[in-house]
Structure 1
């Protein structure tokens, strides 16, 4: 075994200035030889050379088992070995794993993501090999069927007991089944079936364990509006023609974007090929799966963190062997081994949940465009509030654009009104303005539903001592502990630390002195119960619906009208269709606008526009009320007027004048360690070695907004560059100049989304 550096010809160049659509990378080619390079799913920047036994023939992409130290690991044949290592020092490839080889586009995708994100290729490969059990031969089971010798003629003169006769009669009409099923269906004991095997009339055979097939139902193709039909036809043509393209499917909430992009999926299935749909959150898939089942008469394969290990293994294998036609999943589904991908859809493409913030840092939306480019297939980016990066690409002509301006079925967009809290202050200790309380009462009296939206979990975002002002803070993070009164705990939403509310202040020792400051959804629920005591009230947040099944149950209850008033965080804001929901109240429209986050205004507008769009999606008209202390803020004004495009234009102009994305590039360097002094020293050393050149500016180091996270001190540097520069090479050369101690970690975030 010998480590080797990846040849430069095998690793793609940095993304050019025209965005991810420009991604390309040459395919890895391996001549058959006595040695090969094997990439392992470990955080290593190099592949390893192994000797190929004379009895073994290997090709690029083969999954193999190889020794590493005292372990045996699965890896992928990646390319040629270097060839300058003494063969006597190499170790042998142990065996070829019985799994479909990793395709050439997938290997190029792994290499591209690694080069773009400045991550070790092995760390990216680990995401594509997340289910190592699936690389082994599928599990088999013993099933029983009628033996070829058991013809009616052969059995005519044979004396059989009634029990044996029932078994043979059953198997003559039934498929091969496990022993317990044959015995149960025939109404006999297992010994009767085994006796027939001994007699040669029944045979036991091995077969791969089959997934229980979901019952098929008639497919239903809805009638599309003229705008929907035109957009669908365009996307279907792209799938039928083949080749890479990126299309923004932009439509107001309720315009029927899902039904439109179902059509290119149907075209892919008609060709016998595969489709991938990425959704930002597990909970969002609840109604989506029902809509898919109605449209296609079957359910797609799912890929998310709620799956069991058995489900993950089967799904991974089904995708690789082309038994799964459509996969819907979270961002990690992008790394599944599609055998014949025909189209990719990224729904809610603007959503921040597509950004991976741990391990390899990547944006699944951008990387989906890259995967489509390397697979030479079309991709659809769907959103009612497209990201400014996507809008800029569409305006520049790099992406196509389709627009759905109206709600489907004649439904009207909700009217949006601003409630100025400076003039209509809530009662003391309350958070809903009098005008809002009146509107909620009127809506509930009509038998319609209300959503109170507040993007804060728990009871209160801050708990402090009324005597001395001491604030309860997480011991592992620079964040306040959030009271969750219904659970009787204080919880850190960043690391998960929890503790009961202390009986006395740890600073002044005054007892029973802690008071909650500000509202969370639990405190808002407390107020709603007092104001509307006879109504059915539920909280829709990750604390109350922590799994897809729980979310599905909640969504079904809301859609069925079993809940009158929903109090929800952003989980309730996206993608749902609730026919009886006609009033949305944004309790704190200013939340998210404060601070220096580059995307604060954009994210706030997207979130509030989406949550307002939950109202009035059926026959009943809807409206949204925004409670705010800053009614003149551009975001609030844009929401009230419905001028989304004007907001985007103003935000784009401000970004362009300052050189911020999408008109410039950003790279965040996060330095962290358990020793604060060592962390500061490493950050300052990096600052001294920062590149000095035209078009580049390095800011920092400075404490990150979360300067302590999970027990690690954090410092940030920010590199800002002109759009056309290849920042990966610049950053790699910069970091190579500085040696940091083992206790300090340096993490690179290309195109950072969050600045925490």
Structure 2
């Protein structure tokens, strides 16, 4: 692909330009592929992967010299465009002072773009977002100058400065602090030639990791799994392994042995966690094992730290990176191991912008790099279990908790037989169990996956429900903030004193509990207990999360009340009782994975109890105790439940036994969305084995002010969806307010 016709600059003939090589440059823009530019003559011709400055229209852009030969199959990639004569190309303006992006990263970008039907430039933008493409300016300090001290007036302050210099350059602030002289004295000495500016050597941003700093004692079961993973690292070849172990079985200690092996071989490691909040406890454990911290990567890092980390990864100085899914796009030159912790977690799915699944793309990244990937979970996803069953993944299991800890006892509280008092939400059986734990000085956790005070506010006079004006969603009451909020678009409004529909005063009532309401109930029921709420809107930063974890670990908290953040792999040794306020939440609706997700979430929550010597108990408040999800949790037979799920999905070719893609059509009016959805549906392909479902309104038919319709494309695993979708949508013309988003392997059906 090439830019529009452009004039040849004066002083250069077309013949001379034809003799120069064309250079494909991928820009961070939604073009279907690289643009062609005129390469500088050898030896200045930049190699593939080099970041360069190029003209685009009247502005300058940063791009990456791209590979001409792609490893992506032809039917996955967009058709190539006819080349343009060299005489019509514009020259590359210069290269950036950075090493080239590794070939494995470039291939990963190509493959991810082709798989997700995303312009590759938008994927490149994710890889360069924190690159810091401006030239690095070395910090300057002071060294002794050439001026003769005998010919100058040497005050006591000047003599102290010279004495403090030593052999290495010192910055003005450091030199002032060491000598007691003011910055003005130091600048005057520089003017007199007593000091000269010199670059300060850059410090290594990350400390050296010692693979043998503190080796832990493993059980026989753990050591067998660890040696299998160490051997995979030593093989320096792609492999995929599921490390499955019950909660508290020491899965982290096992895969850290594989990390240690990669460090011994001098290779880099990527560890993906589903949530930023998990990094606090994980990094402490990592530092105890290796004597220093890993590099951290997530969206909450400051821009300066992100640039330092990005360059340290590219330079090979950052040996181990732990991060969220975006860490997949870091420029590892020698990736030797990839870990996906809590691989079942849906937080690995990127829903906005470039839609991809972090777990699946980690497997792709490892395959391209020729490195082993380890998927870790106590509740593996059905997709991963299907790959194990098909022989594509290896499988290691840890069946027992580490040390003296035992698995918690799980029991149901039938809310029909043991209901709470009117206006309350905790069964007497649960509150009695909580009192017993508090009396013994043990900790309790209550789990409810609902933020705010109440999920619905309605008028008891006319039945009007407070809804978001921008979304098909109820407004959630946040009583502490005295507002109603939409958790989809962020809309907020004050709680009105009267019903907006009928005008009745003081008629709005909260329906159902959120964690703020459970907090209120517990504060009244247990006035002496020290309470802590853990939710995404109460723990606004990793620092706040780390402080909460510290307080819990130091027994400064008696009762933790939290949303799904409390299910994320925490180790609280004094926690012996977990109460699930509404175990049935999440079972409703038509979501394909509703039951699987509910079992995984509640199993993970239950796993927080009894992780040390004291035994743990889990109490599930439910109105449908006979549901297979509840029975699976009580029996602890997760594998039997997943076998049942698999049997239900196989006949209809539902994932993971078939392929699925979603087309989300949106417009600023319902009529426009309907018309566009009908037009796309009318041109749907008719192929053997391929089924088109829809168009139909999305469950969230209005989201952020846009009306949404959905089509689903379903096919057996043997049929690739990308070529079908590319052909289907070729030639589609969209209006200014119309959009079509493609979600390959959708996780959410909202």
Using the size of structure 2 for normalisation, the TM-score is 0.93
Q: 1:67-146 maps to which residues of 2 (within 5 A)?
A: 67-80=55-68, 84-132=83-131, 134-146=132-144
Q: 1:718-729 maps to which residues of 2 (within 5 A)?
A: 718-729=712-723
Query: 1:601 touches 1:635 (CA, 8 Å); kept in 2?
Result: yes
Q: Within the alignment, does 1:595 sit opposite 2:593 as a pair?
A: no
Aligned with 1:493 (options 464, 479, 487) = 487
C-alpha distance 425-738 of structure 1, shift in aligned 2 (>3 A): same
Give the aligned partner of residue 25 of structure 2.
Answer: 38
Shift in Å at residue 78 of structure 1?
A: 1.1
Q: Within the alignment, does 1:183 sit opposite 2:190 as a pair?
A: no
Shift in Å at residue 157 of structure 1?
A: 13
Query: 2:204 touches 2:317 (CA, 8 Å); kept in 1?
Result: no
Query: 1:355 touches 1:361 (CA, 8 Å); kept in 2?
Result: yes
Q: Within the alignment, does 1:62 sit opposite 2:53 as a pair?
A: no
Query: 1:356 touches 1:363 (CA, 8 Å); kept in 2?
Result: yes
Give the aligned partner of residue 14 of structure 1.
Answer: none
C-alpha distance 108-205 of structure 1, shift in aligned 2 (>3 A): same
Give the aligned partner of residue 219 of structure 1.
Answer: 213
Give the aligned partner of residue 340 of structure 2.
Answer: 346
Q: Within the alignment, does 1:510 sit opposite 2:515 as a pair?
A: no
Q: 1:202-241 maps to which residues of 2 (within 5 A)?
A: 202-207=195-200, 210=203, 219-241=213-235
Give the aligned partner of residue 375 of structure 2.
Answer: 381
| Distance (whole Å) between structure 2 residues aligned to residue 359 and residue 313 of structure 1 | 22
Q: 1:255-654 maps to which residues of 2 (within 5 A)?
A: 255-654=249-648
**Deviation sequence 1:66-103 (CA, Å, 0-9, x none):** 11122211111114598942333222211101112111
Query: 2:205 touches 2:308 (CA, 8 Å); kept in 1?
Result: no
**Deviation sequence 1:8-30 (CA, Å, 0-9, x none):** xxxxxxxxxxxxxxxxxxxxxxx
Greater displacement, 610-619 / 100-109: 100-109
**Deviation sequence 1:289-317 (CA, Å, 0-9, x none):** 11111111111111111111111111111
| Distance (whole Å) between structure 2 residues aligned to residue 180 and residue 222 of structure 1 | 43
Shift in Å at residue 44 of structure 1?
A: 2.0
| Distance (whole Å) between structure 1 residues aligned to residue 540 and residue 139 of structure 2 | 35
Query: 1:99 touches 1:136 (CA, 8 Å); kept in 2?
Result: no
Structure 1: gaps (5+ residues): 5-30
Shift in Å at residue 206 of structure 1?
A: 2.1
Query: 1:138 touches 1:209 (CA, 8 Å); kept in 2?
Result: no
Shift in Å at residue 446 of structure 1?
A: 0.6
Shift in Å at residue 526 of structure 1?
A: 0.8
| Distance (whole Å) between structure 1 residues aligned to residue 36 and residue 391 of structure 2 | 44
C-alpha distance 213-231 of structure 1, shift in aligned 2 (>3 A): closer
| Distance (whole Å) between structure 1 residues aligned to residue 417 and residue 601 of structure 2 | 25
C-alpha distance 600-198 of structure 1, shift in aligned 2 (>3 A): same
| Distance (whole Å) between structure 2 residues aligned to residue 272 and residue 440 of structure 1 | 50
Q: Within the alignment, does 1:748 sit opposite 2:742 as a pair?
A: yes
SS of equivalent residue, structure 1 residue 284 = helix
SS of equivalent residue, structure 1 residue 567 = strand
| Distance (whole Å) between structure 2 residues aligned to residue 340 and residue 89 of structure 1 | 39
| Distance (whole Å) between structure 2 residues aligned to residue 186 and residue 433 of structure 1 | 69
Query: 1:278 touches 1:331 (CA, 8 Å); kept in 2?
Result: yes
C-alpha distance 84-538 of structure 1, shift in aligned 2 (>3 A): closer
**Deviation sequence 1:95-151 (CA, Å, 0-9, x none):** 10111211111111101001100111111111111125x12222321112356x89x
C-alpha distance 723-82 of structure 1, shift in aligned 2 (>3 A): closer
Shift in Å at residue 738 of structure 1?
A: 4.3
C-alpha distance 110-201 of structure 1, shift in aligned 2 (>3 A): same
Give the aligned partner of residue 20 of structure 1.
Answer: none
| Distance (whole Å) between structure 2 residues aligned to residue 649 and residue 64 of structure 1 | 52
Query: 2:625 touches 2:631 (CA, 8 Å); kept in 1?
Result: yes
Query: 1:138 touches 1:208 (CA, 8 Å); kept in 2?
Result: no
Aligned with 1:667 (options 653, 661, 671) = 661
Query: 2:497 touches 2:505 (CA, 8 Å); kept in 1?
Result: yes
Query: 1:36 touches 1:79 (CA, 8 Å); kept in 2?
Result: no
**Deviation sequence 1:329-368 (CA, Å, 0-9, x none):** 1110100111221111110000000000001110010000
SS of equivalent residue, structure 1 residue 494 = coil
C-alpha distance 201-226 of structure 1, shift in aligned 2 (>3 A): farther
SS of equivalent residue, structure 1 residue 604 = helix
Using the size of structure 1 for normalisation, the TM-score is 0.92
Matched residue pairs, number? Answer: 724
| Distance (whole Å) between structure 1 residues aligned to residue 644 and residue 596 of structure 2 | 11
Q: Compute the RMSD of aligned alpha carbons.
A: 2.3
SS of equivalent residue, structure 2 residue 650 = helix
SS of equivalent residue, structure 1 residue 507 = coil
| Distance (whole Å) between structure 2 residues aligned to residue 84 and residue 665 of structure 1 | 35
| Distance (whole Å) between structure 2 residues aligned to residue 669 and residue 703 of structure 1 | 12
Query: 2:49 touches 2:106 (CA, 8 Å); kept in 1?
Result: yes
**Deviation sequence 1:650-669 (CA, Å, 0-9, x none):** 11111113321111111111
| Distance (whole Å) between structure 1 residues aligned to residue 244 and residue 473 of structure 2 | 37
Query: 2:407 touches 2:616 (CA, 8 Å); kept in 1?
Result: yes
C-alpha distance 286-84 of structure 1, shift in aligned 2 (>3 A): closer
**Deviation sequence 1:381-419 (CA, Å, 0-9, x none):** 111101000011112111111111111112000000010
Q: Within the alignment, does 1:705 sit opposite 2:679 as a pair?
A: no
Give the aligned partner of residue 75 of structure 2.
Answer: none
